[in-house]
Amino acid sequence: MNIEWVRKFCMSLPHTTEKVQWGGDLVFKVGGKMYAVVVLDVAPVCMSFKCSPEEFAELVERPGIIPAPYSARYHWVALENEDALTVAEIKRLIRQSYDLVFAKLPKKTRATLRA
């Protein structure tokens, strides 16, 4: 997967940090909580992100999208290939993931990030 556009988009979201974790995953976080993961090595999936429960149910019905290993119970989906969604859809869903994670941060953390 060409991760440069994903990285550029994620880093454009306020207070985003990035870190390589688990050996070969580029993890994007806000307030210390992850909202998107891009796999850097060859793997069965290329990226994952959080979504709403309703969108989770819809997305996993589409070809090339599966419940994310280890985090599906938190409504994370994984893309088996980058063609599973259009770039516009991926950007919208990453932004939604960011918003969902930001909204669940403790009030104090949100207030600090907004200041």
**Other C-beta atoms lying within 10 Å of the C-beta of residue 82:** 16
**Nearest in space to 13 (alpha carbons), one of 77, 99, 85, 78:** 99
Structural domain that includes position 37:
4-114
Predicted local distance difference test score (pLDDT) of residue 1? 57
Beta strands of the chain (E only): which ranges? 16-21, 25-30, 33-39, 47-50, 65-67, 76-79
Entry pTM: 0.90
**d(Cα 102, Cα 98) in Å, to the nearest integer?**
6
Amino acid identity at 14: P
Tell me which residue has tokens 């988009």: 9
Q: In the chain, how many domains are there?
A: 1
Q: Checking DSSP bridges between strand 65-67 and strand 25-30, what pairing results, if any? A: unpaired
Q: Are 48 and 71 in contact (CB under 8 A)?
A: yes
Counting runs of H as helices and runs of E as strands, what totals does the chain give?
A: 4, 6
Per-position pLDDT tens, the chain of length 115: 578 899 999 999 999 999 998 888 999 999 999 999 998 887 778 899 999 999 999 999 999 999 998 888 999 999 998 888 999 999 999 999 999 999 999 999 888 888 7
CATH number at residue 71: 3.90.1150.30
